[in-house]
Structure 1
Amino acid sequence: MTDARQYGELATQLLMESRRSTQTDTLLKYNDSLVRSIIREQRDMEKAIDALAIEGASPPPGMLIIQTAINRNKRCLLAYHSHRVDRLRDMYWAVGGALPHILSNQDIRSKLSPHEVDYLRQYNASVMEFRSEFSHELDITAGITNPPKDLHVMVRVIRDCGVIQTELGSIDFQKGQRFMVRRADIEHLIVQGYLEESVEVKQRLSRIDASKLDLPPYHAVRTVMHSGRVRVLYTNTYRRLPARSVAFYRPTAPSARAGPAASRCYQQHANPTIDLRAHPAALSSQTLSDLGLRSQLPPDSLPDPNQDTPPEVPDQEWEIRTGRAIYIIRETLPEFFNTGLVTSINKMTGAPRTPSTVSTFTPAAATNFLEHFVLKDDEEPLYSPNVRLAYTPPVALPPPFPKTLHVEGIQLYLASSNIIRHTMNALYSDLAVQISKLVVNTPTSSSPPSDSSKKRRISREKNFVIRQHVTGIARVSGKQGEWEIESTYTFSPATGLMHQHIVNSIHPAPHQAVYDSLRSGFGKMLGLGWGTGTGTGAANGATCKGKPPQAKET
């Protein structure tokens, strides 16, 4: 050996790579050079043992040390390769046993050694051979942690997958389309990331009162579905008529291959013509073809009255979102003046992320600023798109300022935080934020309501109060400034995102020059030309979303 190092040092480096792979939940590139170096070290130590061996004499202490190092290197090599084999098996089952999906990914393929590629192919061959023995009775690639509740599922195409053979025939899955298909036919595409299950349509269908639509009895439909001949009866019950009678739907006859059970059910319930004008949710959801598939809403469909209402997330997901938001605020708020406001996290790692907002407040930046706030695919938001920020000064401000300053929307919310951060950094140095109080408020269960929906909504009324102590040194006078700010963050009962931020108090209260600076900053960012001079009341009121001074406060 040309350099001096301890026995087992290379093997320790190999184990550290496995540890990093476990902590980051990623598969690192196979370290072929380090593995070969350890093997060469093994051979050198075996030659050293042969040179120290003396027949008929007890082994010297140096031989015991070398043999211990050899055993340690072997264990480290086995642990490293065993860890990689476990990662490969997890990747294989994560994509539903689709080996071509793994090997076609150049990023993953570049991290594998030739021996690992051969292992995956042999492992896949063993799985296929094992499945062939009882493929008609059991699918070992199906997940058992979340068993399916429905035979059919509404999916949205994320990536083009081409023509797929399903129970209903050949379907060309193109990006952006939606289809109602049998879950067993496309389960592997959902696992591989080509399709995603659409929850919006399922919730929309659940809001329809079937008793008012004069639909066939549910037990009859259930019997037909269990007979194995008709898989989708409710979704293929209504067909669109011409535009002159768009508000009416009528049952359509089942296909010839549907079987006698479907024909009898159709003959019993084919007479009445159903008027769906009183059910806009049903009208907007029954845009299905003869195959029972749905691609998109027709142009003459009635608008969904609940389009702006976000779908409710499950209780467990709601608790995870609220708890995670409180944790992110507590951990990142002390670094607000350095990194900015954290508005999202990484879905895979949970690391906080700050938005790439406009930092130069010029009229030329107004166009980009007013664009819709778009998150990346790997980001999950912490704030609602309609988040509201409000603050009522202890002393009423002179016109054109309203009594309560408030902005709505994630764009204006981010702009407010950006202006405050840049203004404070321009006036003060060594800015620091220290959290002195954080209280989470949840509803008490003293008098639970009888209605289950009201009980669920009340249990989701959560907010937290945070008190922060801000300090900084004025750049001009050199004096230290201190502020105590107390705010209340309220979570949305439906999505678990922060949708309201109320500043309860600021001590000492900001001077009017601060509000003039904010007004000027908003004017430059929006490109409205508001300067430090007096402007029109309508323009300033629009920025703060307040009423003009001549309007009566409500």
Structure 2
Amino acid sequence: MKCLNEFRISKGKEMHGRLGSRLVKGLASGEKGQLTHFNDELLNEVIKECSENFLALQSLIRKMQEEGLDFQTTRNADHYGALINHLSLIRNKRCLMAYVYNRAEMIQNLAWTVGLRLFELPEEIQEKLSHLEKDYFKRHSAALESYMSKVDLNLNVDMVPPKDPYIKVRVLDDLGEGIVVSDKAANFARHSMHFLKRTDAEPYISRMRLKNEEVGQLPHLHRENNGKFYVVTKAQVFYMLHSVVNLS
């Protein structure tokens, strides 16, 4: 019991597993489908706790082995201390995986709903991505572009055919002069109204530079998992997590 009490207060900070829980709660606290700022500081604290758990687990198991005790059958303070460290390590790793996995899904969604180029993402979104997440976005977009070129099909357009090929839009951000649409140069001053081809307006609407005055936004920007490839494999998650930290 004495060993367990010492173990409980050894850090003098957070209960084991609390940091990982805070990391996931921070992700869940944001609006559904919306990225929050990458919490690099808290993520590193969780990683540090994983390392501490792993070292403590190794030390306690080694101590029991040196004392000639069977770890499978012995039920002493060292056994329970090792068990707590082991469970904390597993929980924190799961929290890290959940954090990276869910952000990876949202990053992939950006390629479908906003654009395949990093510069096409609004500044407020780019600021929320870590350096590795930006690299992941580029790799995913490149893979998507490669596939679309092979099948000669643009999968980024709206799945529902529009009733009218032209839409009325309002300029939200001053685009300046010299913007070419439908082979004609136009001046997109802020708050000005224009009647454009939907295909010409879509890229600017997805980047929040224009607003569709008829429906507020293009339908596909609000669609979730509507027959598109929202798939993140375990290999992709492990790649991202391994790039952030080596937990071995």
Task: Give me the TM-score of the superposition, normalised by structure 1.
Answer: 0.32
Counterpart residue type for residue 71 of structure 2 = S
Amino acid at match of 1:27: L
CA distance in 2, matches of 1:197, 1:34: 39
- Aligned residue in 2 for 1:526: none
Residue 25 of structure 2 is aligned to residue 5 of structure 1: no
- Cα–Cα, structure 1 residues 4 and 30, in superposed 2: closer, same or farther, change >3 Å? same
Query: Which residue of structure 1 lines up, in the alignment, with residue 156 of structure 2?
Result: 141
Aligned residues: 193
The alpha carbon displacement at 1:189 in A equals 1.8
Cα shift readout 1:250-295 (whole Å, capped 9, x = no counterpart):
xxxxxxxxxxxxxxxxxxxxxxxxxxxxxxxxxxxxxxxxxxxxxx
Aligned counterpart in structure 1 of residue 209 of structure 2, from 177, 187, 194: 194
Q: Is the 8 A contact 1:18 1:80 kept in 2?
A: yes
Residue in 1 that maps onto 2:139: 122
How do residues 164-243 of structure 1 correspond to structure 2 at under 5 angstroms? 164-167=179-182, 169-175=183-189, 176-199=191-214
The one-character-per-residue Cα deviations of 1:101-149 (angstroms, maximum 9, x if unpaired) are: 22x61x33332221112112222222222222233xx3211122x4311
Q: Which residue of 1 aligns with 2:130?
A: 113
Task: Report the equivalent of 2:113.
Answer: 94
Give the Cα–Cα distance (whole angstroms) in 2 for the partners of residues 130 and 43 of structure 1.
40
Contact 2:113 2:156 in 1 (8 A): no
Question: In 1, Cα distance between the equivalents of 2:213 and 2:56?
Answer: 66
Residue 30 of structure 2 aligns to a residue whose secondary structure is helix
- 2:96 counterpart residue number: 77
Deviation at 1:42, TM superposition (A): 1.2
Task: Select which of 17, 26, 29 maps to 1:17.
Answer: 26
**CA distance in structure 2 between the aligned counterparts of 1:42 and 1:28, rounded to whole angstroms:** 23
Q: Secondary structure at the match of 2:150?
A: coil
CA distance in 2, matches of 1:122, 1:148: 31
Aligned residues of 1:158 and 1:193 also touching (Cα < 8 A): yes
Equivalent in 27, 35, 39 of residue 27 of structure 1:
35
1:43 aligns with 2:56: no
Q: Contact 1:151 / 1:182 at 8 angstroms: preserved in 2?
A: yes
Post-superposition offset of 1:98: 4.4
SS of residue matched to 2:203: helix
1:52 corresponds in structure 2 to 60
State how 1:60-459 maps to structure 2 within 5 Å: 60-102=79-121, 105=123, 107-135=124-152, 138-144=153-159, 146-161=160-175, 162-167=177-182, 169-175=183-189, 176-199=191-214
User: 2:113 & 2:158 partners in 1: Cα distance?
Assistant: 10
**Cα offset, 1:180, TM superposition:** 3.9
**Residue 198 of structure 1, CA deviation:** 4.6
The 1:149/1:9 distance shift into structure 2, 3 A limit, reads same
Q: Which is bigger in relative contact order (C-alpha 8 A, separation at least 6)?
A: 2
- Would you tell me which structure has more helix in proportion to its own residues? 2
In structure 2, distance between residues paired with 1:29 and 1:86: 15
Q: Secondary structure at the match of 1:79?
A: helix
Give the C-alpha shift of residue 4 in structure 1: 4.5
Name the aligned partner's letter for residue 49 of structure 2: E
Unaligned runs of 5+ residues in structure 1 are 200-312, 314-554
Alignment partner of 2:83: what SS? Answer: helix
Contact 2:170 2:193 in 1 (8 A): yes
- Once the two structures are superposed, residues 65-99 of structure 1 have per-residue CA deviations (whole angstroms, 9 ceiling, x without a partner) of 22111111100111111122222233343324343
Cα distance change of structure 1 residues 166 and 17 upon mapping to structure 2, 3 Å threshold:
same
Measure the CA separation in 1 of the matches of 2:41 and 2:202: 40
* Ranges in structure 2 where 5+ consecutive residues have no aligned partner: 1-9, 73-78, 216-248
Contact 1:157 1:173 survives alignment (8 Å): no
Spell out, residue by residue over 1:358-393, the C-alpha distance to the aligned partner (whole angstroms, 9 max, x if none). xxxxxxxxxxxxxxxxxxxxxxxxxxxxxxxxxxxx
Query: What CA RMSD, in Å, does the superposition of the two structures yield over aligned residues?
Result: 2.6
**Alpha-carbon distance change, 96 to 148 in structure 1, aligned in 2, over 3 angstroms:** farther
Distance 2:193 2:99 in 1: 44
SS at match of 1:21: coil
Q: Secondary structure at the match of 2:48?
A: helix
Deviation at 1:182, TM superposition (A): 2.9
Quick one: structure 1 residues 177 and 39, their matched pair in 2 at CA, closer, same or farther if it must change by over 3 Å? Answer: closer
Greater C-alpha Rg? 1
Partner Cα distance (2:126, 2:204) in 1:
21
**Could you tell me how far apart the structure 2 residues matched to 1:108 and 1:190 are?**
15
TM-score by length of 2: 0.67
**1:97·1:141 contact (CA, 8 Å) conserved in 2?**
no
